[in-house]
Structure 1
């Protein structure tokens, strides 16, 4: 099933939307703005494990959505960076911000009877701890980390796990992500995909080339695709 673009210059589409029962969110870059914290944690981990020189955070950011150890392998960096990166991420968690409009979006989706889950490149414990600190954990029935599935994004496992836990078929769900890995994971699971652009990626062209079914420029755009669930 193909969705129109909700907000892309020149389309002006007014979709007739099927009822969705669930929304699966990526975390970083969609629900929370954690890039400054990631950058600092990555720089500290790089200095501790690799040594002097600039930490290649821009390259790291291009791989977001993947599990941290997988990114280290892709970048040919030591897996030992994970321990200080996680340590510093916990220490700096208080600096992470919720994107404007996201809390209101979650409130409205829940009021409309939709079921919500997180499928993130982070580990499950770290994701749940962060959401709890931000007061957002109660919005989500399930928070699934990359360490809790056999194959992390871009494989479909994490989205399939969310569908299983929510007991929702693929055709009644939509996945919101800000990276090509999110789109690929949703597509592999047979779930409609939406590209979130409120934290513009380094390469929007690459994200759009991944073939999302819809493009959202602000959180509230999702509401056009998520009417109230009958009977809830």
Structure 2
């Protein structure tokens, strides 16, 4: 069984470093910082969307060239602090160990750009656990389009009928449903509404619950 994980808000609590980077970019561009408590509603769709959402929140707009400049600054600055405060969520590695013992293998499908996704997973010490890591730019299309998930499954040597998606947001749930893949949602990630409202197949509140949730899906 292949388990495909989202990254931000699912495997790792990346909000402190992402929001710190956002504040750096926004202040460099002459805008205000963003309250940390807004992270759950702003994160989850990638760096460019994060910048766009932060600007919208302030009632601000920029032209395409300036947005590109802010995006490039975001990526460059983020790599300098990518794992300063970011941590895997409790129980991640133990859950992977347990799933692996029953034949599970793993991949990542994130709306993060591929390069920082790989850098982060390496710094967190878990990159070798994933057969394939797909970023927003890997296949030129982002979630909730099902293409990156389906191509991640293929690249990992899996099959949709033997795959479970694990994510934290409406985007992940919509992606899995469009791909015809069951989805388990964590309820501690980055979403502005309770993840249960988007009708995932299972909801967990801690990674220790993941193996049993997977078993329920498998009947």
In structure 1, the residue matched to 2:158 is 168
Unaligned runs of 5+ in 2: none
Distance 1:94 1:59, change over 3 A: closer
Bigger proportion of residues as helix: 2
1:95 positional shift: 2.1
Q: Where do 4+ consecutive residues of structure 1 move more than 4 Å?
A: 56-61, 70-77
In structure 2, the residue matched to 1:223 is 211
Unaligned runs of 5+ in 1: 1-20, 228-232
In structure 2, the residue matched to 1:43 is 23
**Which sits farther off after the overlay, 22-31 or 159-168?**
159-168
- Check whether the contact 1:41–1:85 (CA below 8 A) recurs between aligned residues: yes
- Check whether the contact 1:42–1:85 (CA below 8 A) recurs between aligned residues: yes
1:155 positional shift: 0.8
- Check whether the contact 2:15–2:39 (CA below 8 A) recurs between aligned residues: no
**Which sits farther off after the overlay, 65-74 or 92-101?**
65-74
Distance 1:201 1:70, change over 3 A: closer
1:64 positional shift: 3.0
Structure 2-normalised TM-score?
Answer: 0.84
- Check whether the contact 2:39–2:190 (CA below 8 A) recurs between aligned residues: no
Aligned to 1:194, the other structure's residue is in SS state: strand
- Check whether the contact 1:173–1:192 (CA below 8 A) recurs between aligned residues: yes
Deviations 1:38-76 (A, max 9, x none): 111001011112x14233776674253323334545645
Aligned length: 204
- How many angstroms apart in 2 are the aligned matches of 1:194 and 1:211? 10
Residue of structure 2 aligned with 1:89, choices 70, 78, 92: 78
1:150 positional shift: 2.8
Aligned to 1:155, the other structure's residue is in SS state: coil
Deviations 1:167-202 (A, max 9, x none): 322221111111100111111111101111134743
- How many angstroms apart in 2 are the aligned matches of 1:106 and 1:181? 23
1:79 aligns with 2:68: yes
* C-alpha RMSD of the superposition: 2.1
